[in-house]
Structure 1
Amino acid sequence: MLIPQIATPVAPTTILKQAGFTLLELIVGVVVLGIALLMISSILGPMYVRSSEPWHQVRAAELGHSLMNEILARSFDENSSRGTTLLRCNEAGADSCIAAMPACPANGMSSATEEASRDLYDDVDDFHCFRGDGAAVSNILNENLADSYRNYQVAVFVSYAGADVGLPNQSAKRVDISVILPSGDNIAFSSYKGNW
């Protein structure tokens, strides 16, 4: 007769694999990720600062162009005829043009400016040595644009420059406008106003 054999327990030969990460692996992963993000942000960071620069340059161009149009719409000289005669300063029978532009004093006001306020400026010379910030900027309707041009600054300098364009020196004036952006960058505009 056969004797049934009793099965003996066998030790499992397969070990269950552990799933997941150890605490050490997690810490190393977080540190590596942090270093990678730091490197990426340090490369892209300066680009974020410069991203608004084109917008400020367009605003400065608008401001400079607008101010230049306002200046060039005025008479050539304080002694230019504004009445019915068509005489220009320095012509026979007319007053002489202002001899020379004075140097700009430190406070920005000019002795060439005869008018007490910008509303009374009637010739190009009155804008010589004009300095202002956003509060000094207004539109054609005399509405203050301080909110639109906050932290912008403008400076205007006028000089005789007829020789630059092949004319007698007092026959043309050069108008230089500097617009200083909030970032401190300076954008310059220049134009000539002829005595005709």
Structure 2
Amino acid sequence: MPVRNLRRFQRGFTLIEGILAIVIMAIAMVTLVSFLFPQAEQSAVPQYQARAAAIGQGALNEILARKFDEHSDPFNDSVIRCGESGYTCSEPDALGRDTGESNGTELNVAAADDVDDFIGCWGSAAQCGGSSLSRRGALQDLVIVSAAEVSDYRHIWLEVRVGYEKEDLSGAASGVTAQKRIEVLVKTTRYGDYAFMALRSNY
């Protein structure tokens, strides 16, 4: 075979071919980074939604197991409600934990006896640092979880707000009513916030 033909078959990429290959690879990488990789992160969203639902329901169950108000049922298992028989309900600005229900700045959940005792942020000190509510304890103090689940929930915390609801259930009331709205906001690091709400009647 002539030398000229041998050189023609051994030739590599030209400069233009090399540049075109780099451009094509760059376009492919931009496509992967822009569309494919974010989808991998979003695959964790359903898992966090399921966890948030379980935690929100668990927190509401714990709170709703308590009585309507600190001044309800003064003799335990009686039929007296606050607002009748001379027992006044707590004023809206007096809602929150009561004397003897705290361990320092945290709420003693076992001593909490009415729904508004739980008002506050439930999570680590760092998580509650940016909250407008005071920290009342760790998440596992409010929602019973196993030792294995504690590590799974380290990126989740919640805020509890309780206030009187208007009689027609149309929004927050400025005075004492027969309904309290309990709002639980489950917060995650970057997978969204999930709100849960329940009403507790004065019975």
1:90 Cα deviation after fit: 1.2
Return closer, same or farther for 1:96/1:65 CA change in 2, 3 Å cut-off.
same
Q: Which has the larger helix fraction? A: 2
Where in structure 2 are the equivalents of 1:1-196 lying within 5 Å? 18-19=8-9, 22-24=12-14, 27-28=18-19, 30-44=21-35, 45-81=37-73, 83-91=76-84, 93=85, 95-102=87-94, 110=96, 112-114=97-99, 115-116=101-102, 117-128=108-119, 130-133=120-123, 135-138=138-141, 145-165=149-169, 169-183=176-190, 185-196=192-203
> Higher mean Cα deviation, 68-77 or 112-121?
112-121
Q: From the two aligned structures, give the one with the greater strand fraction.
A: 2
* Residues 80 and 95 in structure 1, CA contact (< 8 A), matched pair in contact too: yes
Residues 146 and 193 from structure 1, CA distance in 2 versus in 1: closer, same or farther, beyond 3 angstroms? same
Q: 2:105 maps to which residue?
A: none
Where 1:176 maps in the other structure, the secondary structure is strand
Shift in CA distance, 86/142, structure 1 to aligned 2, threshold 3 Å: farther
Residues 71-117 of structure 1, C-alpha deviation per residue, up to 9 Å, x if partnerless? 111111111116242121112x25211122448xxxxxx5x433111
Amino acid at match of 2:47: W
Contact 2:64 2:200 in 1 (8 A): yes
Q: Which amino acid aligns with 2:81?
A: R
List gaps (5 residues or longer) in structure 1: 1-11, 104-109
Q: Distance in 1 between matches of 2:86 and 2:11?
A: 95
Give the superposition deviation at 1:138.
Answer: 4.4
State the secondary structure of the residue aligned to 1:159. strand
Q: Distance in 2 between matches of 1:56 and 1:141?
A: 18
Alignment: residue pair count: 174
- Rg (Cα) greater in structure: 1
Q: What is the TM-score when the length of structure 1 is the normalising length?
A: 0.73
Change (3 A) 1:23 1:120: same
Identity of aligned residues (%): 26
Change (3 A) 1:90 1:73: same
Cα drift, residue 140 of structure 1: 6.7
Paired residues of 2:109 and 2:142 also in contact (CA < 8 A): no
Distance 1:163 1:21 in 2: 87
RMSD between aligned residues: 3.1
Instruction: Indicate conservation of the 8 Å contact 2:161/2:183, yes or no.
Output: yes
Q: Deviations over 1:132-179 (max 9, x none)?
A: 116432477675653121121211111011424389952110001111
What SS is found at the alignment partner of 1:137? helix
